[in-house]
Structure 1
Amino acid sequence: MNGIDIYNGSNITNWEEVKKSGVEYVYLKATEGLTFNDSKMKEFYNEAKKVGLKVGFYHFLHRNNPYMEAQHFINMISSFKADMKYMIDVEAQEFSDAGQNDTSTRVRQFYDFMQSKGYECAVYTYSSFYEELFDDRVKSLPLWIAEYGVEKPSVTQYIGWQYAEDGNVPGVSGKCDVNNFSEGILLGNSKTLVLNEAVEAQRQDDTVKIIQQQLNTLLKKGLVVDGIKVAATTAAIREFQGAMGLVVDGIWGQKTVSAVTEIFNRPTDGVQYAHYEYATRYIQYRVGGTIDGVFGNGTKVMVQNWQAKHEINPDGIVGTATWSKLLDENC
């Protein structure tokens, strides 16, 4: 099951699009250390719940008194209803300097205090931290592991896998942490995710669904969002790559992702604005004319004609209203 984790630096532009992309679970940063409260947690919580997403909270752990950090976390989240286990985020560099015994002791004390107050917990960390800084007191706890660029994590049992920190999710502006969760992430559920061929196939299917959704947003092709990379999906990828001036190989690689990201960031584009080749190429693809990635006067005229046709102020500048019409509507 797909999930994202976000914090006050995240920019969610459309929660409905996030859900339509296949995301089911959202983890929100709540607190850090002894004093930090995330300023967007409440807003994110309300918007995520409004569209029917499951929500959980995490605390970024430091080497303070673990009981005081846990109480700070509780003070922040006690009035909100969570769907997923309360997460202890263990990744601060200071733990590397402290060593295994100190780290494991602090994590376990935080965990036990939360459990004693009725908050069911789990631990998030990187695979390197897990191997070097966790002893059996912590390795026995439910785990959400972060490990990138691999076919499967180095650990074999976990309730969540953060497999990339630079994912592109419709409705999110910029990069985003993307995850695969098992039902064990939910409160009151102990089911672990053991990676096998079926799970890996599901993760791949989920990725294809996101690609299909993005292509529908970009190209208005009406692809069936089923996670199956059939000929129509490959053809749409190739069409998009051609418009972007990329190698037309039908493979959703990093350059294709970079093009999509630039477009979904919706930069203000026009003759007098900074040069955005991929965004300009997409605009030219949609409004007609030569697709060369250069926003000149010819492109400006085509944009003005397109804006007038769609009842937008025909100023030849692709700003918020024009981007919304290009991406958010089926026109």
Structure 2
Amino acid sequence: MKGIDIYEGDDIQDWNAVKNAGIEVVIQKASQGTSHIDSLLQYRYPKMKSVGLKVGFYHFANNTGDPEVQAQHFLDTISKFSSDTVLWLDIEAEENWTKQEAINFANTFISYVQNKGFQIGIYTGASFYTDYLAGNISSVPLWLASYGKQPSLYPFSASWQYSESGSLDGVAGNVDLNYFIDNIFIIGSNLIKEVQHDLQRVSCLEEGESNATGVLDIKTLNAIATFKDAAGVPGSVRGDGYLIDALNVITHKPTVGEGWNANPMAVRFLQWYFGLPKTGVVDSTMTAKLKEWQVKAGIWSASGADGVIREKDWNKILK
């Protein structure tokens, strides 16, 4: 979905025009460092909401103040507002940070905000993320700036700021333009945990409660992408209705086989599971493969195996 991010230096003249230009999300700067508050935050918030835009907030990190103090300043600043998206830490400009400083700041800031009960993501440049943060910070939603080249993590694991000099109806001058993915939105931790458990059952997410945290982290996003590709699930990478419906189809153990009117998503999932082409149609090759597996798995005898997947077979497939 299309979005913009803005601060007090941007000149937004007509919010209806912005909305009508296809913008769905606006991420507004709230704070910077330990004391600065964006001068247009309070003025803009009701105007953005009044035209039906989804609104989120970011804090610009300074490498001159305690990260926990900055985090609390951020939370205090937005306390009177409601955010539709996760909160964002904007950490950028490699010349202002050593690698370890950036890692320590990001992890401390993220932990502090999460411990206060909020969901948070990271905004940074693609090179800053690759050089400094990748593999060194908590698993949170990512939003990467990369101009002229699509980041490899978009659209499965990261949103993409693709321009810092965009032109948009309703805006005088340039504005940052973004393609956001659905993991920017706040969703309930209980729903996420249910999805994580189902992803573990279908062998797309590593087992263990340490991987079923209720947080929509990178591991979970990658597992969702794997499952959606396996089952042919439409929709974006998130715990959306399409995903949940598909997981329900498969975890309810439908009968799948030649001559059975099976859900194509269940067929495709089984084809992925058994290393077959994902056509969504049960053919003789798939039937032969399933018969062979039924015998090897000790579910049926050679004479009893028929290549039809029933509850007894699903009990071996699902964890």
Range into which the TM-score falls when normalised by the shorter chain:
0.5 to 0.7
Q: Distance in 1 between matches of 2:48 and 2:157?
A: 25
Asked whether the 8 Å contact 1:12–1:173 carries over to 2, the reply is: yes
Q: Partner amino acid for 2:40? A: K
Tell me what 1:149 maps to.
148
Tell me what 1:30 maps to.
30
Tell me what 2:186 maps to.
187
Tell me what 1:300 maps to.
none
Tell me what 1:55 maps to.
55
Counterpart secondary structure, 2:136: helix
Q: What does 1:64-143 align with in structure 2 at a 5 Å threshold?
A: 64-96=65-97, 98=98, 100-138=99-137, 140-143=139-142
**Shift of residue 159, structure 1, vs aligned partner:** 3.7
Query: Which protein is bigger by CA-based radius of gyration?
Result: 2
Q: Which runs of 4+ in 1 moved over 2 A?
A: 92-96, 154-159, 189-194
Q: Distance in 2 between matches of 1:43 and 1:129?
A: 32
- For structure 1, the 5+ residue unaligned runs are 195-201, 203-331
Q: Partner amino acid for 1:91? A: E
- Describe the superposition over 1:194-252 as per-residue Cα deviations: whole angstroms up to 9, x where unpaired: 7xxxxxxx9xxxxxxxxxxxxxxxxxxxxxxxxxxxxxxxxxxxxxxxxxxxxxxxxxx
Tell me what 2:246 maps to.
none
Q: Distance in 2 between matches of 1:129 and 1:139?
A: 16
Q: Distance in 2 between matches of 1:48 and 1:131?
A: 33
Q: What does 1:261-280 align with in structure 2 at a 5 Å threshold?
A: none
Q: Partner amino acid for 1:60? A: F
- Number of equivalenced pairs: 195
Counterpart secondary structure, 1:9: coil
**Shift of residue 155, structure 1, vs aligned partner:** 3.2
**Shift of residue 33, structure 1, vs aligned partner:** 0.5
Does residue 18 of structure 2 align to residue 18 of structure 1? yes
- Describe the superposition over 1:235-293 as per-residue Cα deviations: whole angstroms up to 9, x where unpaired: xxxxxxxxxxxxxxxxxxxxxxxxxxxxxxxxxxxxxxxxxxxxxxxxxxxxxxxxxxx
Tell me what 1:8 maps to.
8
Asked whether the 8 Å contact 2:89–2:123 carries over to 1, the reply is: yes
Q: Distance in 2 between matches of 1:52 and 1:114?
A: 27
Taking only the aligned residue pairs, the percentage that are identical comes to 39
Asked whether the 8 Å contact 1:56–1:83 carries over to 2, the reply is: yes
Asked whether the 8 Å contact 2:94–2:128 carries over to 1, the reply is: no
- For structure 2, the 5+ residue unaligned runs are 189-215, 226-235, 237-319
Tell me what 1:178 maps to.
177
**Shift of residue 103, structure 1, vs aligned partner:** 1.0
Q: Distance in 2 between matches of 1:125 and 1:18?
A: 24
Counterpart secondary structure, 1:23: coil
Counterpart secondary structure, 2:69: helix
In structure 2, relative to structure 1, the CA distance for the partners of 1:166 and 1:139 (3 Å cut) is farther
Q: Distance in 2 between matches of 1:159 and 1:51?
A: 27
Q: Which shifted more, 39-48 or 138-147?
A: 138-147
Q: Normalization by structure 1: what TM-score?
A: 0.55
Counterpart secondary structure, 1:118: coil
